[in-house]
């Protein structure tokens, strides 16, 4: 092929192609080729905080996770399966003594890494080590604008201060920091101040209102869900923020969930699986179980017993999910609130008894948001 052929022009153009176009191509291709593009690994269940709304069970919180050698082997397997965007989650990942070995191994394999953390163990020295590994982003949880709110929710006095210190250190070193929050009946009134704080810290905000049940279906975290009036008030604020804010992130914009078959990041809520679960997303949990997503805690196989690639391709469960994903959800088709719907099939499974069912929580939020938008 001649260098002056149209393909060369394509190659050249592609360097400066719009990121959204590349993402669209990437999502569509990974979907078609069944590539686990977005993979999240749960390195440990242990955590130094004791968040009241945590979805981990007491048993999971004592689980130290797989060994270094097992994670190394898994990273090799994920690499060969085409996984690219790798999120490292916990528990609190910085409790693992071998964390940097695992990150460095991931970087050697040219993964793009995202670190999920509460930040409290990130000193200036640790932040420097993090920066040296060139993560795509560090995602830090901050549950309020006031120390007393955040510390009450985390159950650890002083955690707010440490988390803020970590964010400042990371931002100063040029690391992209995403500050995440779940709006609850405890903290939602701090939304405006929280967003100002995030902006002042030089980070990107991301939030949602989905307080999820525990991994075993325990409903205690859902006590912190906002009431109808609170949701309405928060959404009025969100709408004003959307008008003012030109940031890349914002409400309910978790890139991990939104990989659609058309390469579009909005979810098709009337389908059983309108997200990327089992298509180009998966999770490997603390025990090595391969899960379609963080909410659907049904194992497709265990990587300590068989290779990841075989589980990902051949698991009967994952293939069943893939087969039903386009089916309509009974009761969702024709719903007047679809536009505002944040239906998560995993949440429908955990709370409402089935992946193919309506999510009562999503129905409630969508109805309230729609009413606010009609005001």
Partner 1 sequence: MSVKFAQNPNSAFRIIDGEAVILVPERQTLHRLADVGLRVWELACEGKAEEQISKRIAEEYEVEADKAEREAKEFLELLVKNGIIIPQSE
Q: Which residues bind partner 1 (CB under 8 A)?
A: 1-5, 7-8, 10-12, 14-17, 19, 22-23, 25-26, 29-30, 33, 35, 82, 84, 107, 110-113, 134-137, 174, 176
Q: What is the DSSP letter of 296?
A: -
Q: Please state, in angstroms and rounded to a whole number, the distance separating the CA atoms of residues 241 and 235.
A: 9
Which one, 5 or 101, has the nearer CB to partner 1? 5
The CA distances from residue 360 to 196, 341, 345, in Å, are 32, 11, 11
Which one, 173 or 338, has the nearer CB to partner 1? 173
Q: Please state, in angstroms and rounded to a whole number, the distance separating the CA atoms of residues 240 and 149.
A: 24
Residue 56 contacts residue 218 (beta carbons within 8 Å): no
Q: How far is the CB of 7 from partner 1 (least distance, A)?
A: 4
H or E element, residue 322: helix 316-324
Q: Please state, in angstroms and rounded to a whole number, the distance separating the CA atoms of residues 158 and 131.
A: 24
How many residues appear in the chain? 375
Q: Please state, in angstroms and rounded to a whole number, the distance separating the CA atoms of residues 258 and 266.
A: 6
Which one, 15 or 69, has the nearer CB to partner 1? 15
Which one, 176 or 324, has the nearer CB to partner 1? 176
Which one, 101 or 134, has the nearer CB to partner 1? 134
Which one, 26 or 54, has the nearer CB to partner 1? 26
Q: Apex CA 91: angle with CA 257 and CA 205, to 5°? A: 50
Which one, 112 or 299, has the nearer CB to partner 1? 112
**In terms of Cα–Cα distance, which of 94, 91, 136 is closest to 111?**
136
Which one, 30 or 89, has the nearer CB to partner 1? 30
Q: How far is the CB of 10 from partner 1 (least distance, A)?
A: 6
Q: How far is the CB of 136 from partner 1 (least distance, A)?
A: 5
Six-digit token string for 145: 């604008």
Q: How far is the CB of 116 from partner 1 (least distance, A)?
A: 16
Which one, 122 or 286, has the nearer CB to partner 1? 122
Sign of the four-CA dihedral 265, 248, 231, 156: positive
Q: How far is the CB of 306 from partner 1 (least distance, A)?
A: 23
- The answer to whether the peptide bond before residue 214 is cis (omega within 30 degrees of 0) is no
The CA distances from residue 298 to 131, 191, 356, in Å, are 35, 34, 15
Q: How far is the CB of 308 from partner 1 (least distance, A)?
A: 16
What one-character-per-residue DSSP string does 78-115 give? HHHHT--EEEEESS-GGG-TTHHHHHHHHHHTT-EEEE
H or E element, residue 231: helix 228-244
Conformation bin of residue 294: beta by default, left when phi > 0, alpha when psi is -120 to 50: alpha
Q: How far is the CB of 319 from partner 1 (least distance, A)?
A: 21
Q: How far is the CB of 231 from partner 1 (least distance, A)?
A: 32
Q: How far is the CB of 11 from partner 1 (least distance, A)?
A: 3
């Amino acid at each position: 092929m001649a260098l002056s052929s149209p393909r060369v022009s394509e190659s050249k153009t592609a360097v400066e192609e719009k990121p959204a176009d590349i993402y669209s191509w990437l999502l569509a291709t990974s979907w078609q080729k069944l590539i686990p593009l977005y993979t999240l690994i749960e390195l440990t269940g242990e955590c130094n905080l004791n968040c009241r709304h945590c979805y981990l069970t007491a048993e999971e919180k004592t689980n130290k996770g797989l060994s270094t050698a097992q994670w190394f082997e898994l990273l090799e397997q994920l690499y060969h399966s085409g996984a690219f965007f790798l999120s490292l989650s916990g528990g609190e990942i910085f409790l693992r003594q071998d964390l940097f070995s695992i990150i460095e191994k991931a970087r050697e394999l040219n993964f793009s890494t995202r670190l999920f953390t509460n930040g409290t163990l990130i000193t200036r020295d640790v932040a420097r080590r993090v920066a040296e590994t060139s993560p795509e982003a560090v995602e830090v949880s901050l549950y309020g604008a006031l120390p007393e709110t955040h510390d009450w929710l985390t159950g650890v006095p002083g955690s707010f201060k440490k988390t803020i210190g970590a964010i400042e250190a990371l931002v100063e070193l040029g690391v992209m920091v995403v500050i995440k929050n779940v709006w609850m009946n405890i903290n939602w009134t701090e939304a405006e101040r929280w967003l100002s704080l995030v902006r002042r810290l030089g980070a990107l905000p991301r939030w949602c209102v989905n307080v999820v049940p525990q991994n075993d279906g325990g409903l205690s975290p859902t006590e912190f869900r906002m009431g109808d009036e609170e949701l309405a008030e928060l959404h009025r604020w969100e709408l004003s923020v959307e008008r003012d804010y030109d940031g890349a992130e914002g409400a309910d914009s978790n890139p991990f969930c939104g990989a659609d078959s058309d390469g579009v990041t909005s979810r098709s809520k009337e389908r059983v699986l309108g997200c990327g679960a089992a298509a180009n997303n998966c999770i490997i949990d603390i025990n090595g179980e391969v899960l379609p997503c963080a909410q659907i805690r049904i194992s497709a196989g265990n990587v300590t017993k068989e290779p990841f690639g075989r589980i990902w391709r051949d698991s009967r469960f994952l293939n069943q999910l893939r087969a039903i994903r386009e089916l309509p959800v009974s009761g969702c088709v024709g719903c007047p609130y679809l536009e505002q719907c944040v239906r998560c099939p995993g949440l429908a499974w955990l709370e409402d008894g089935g992946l193919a069912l309506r999510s009562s929580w999503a129905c409630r939020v969508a109805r309230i948001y729609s009413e606010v938008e009609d005001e």
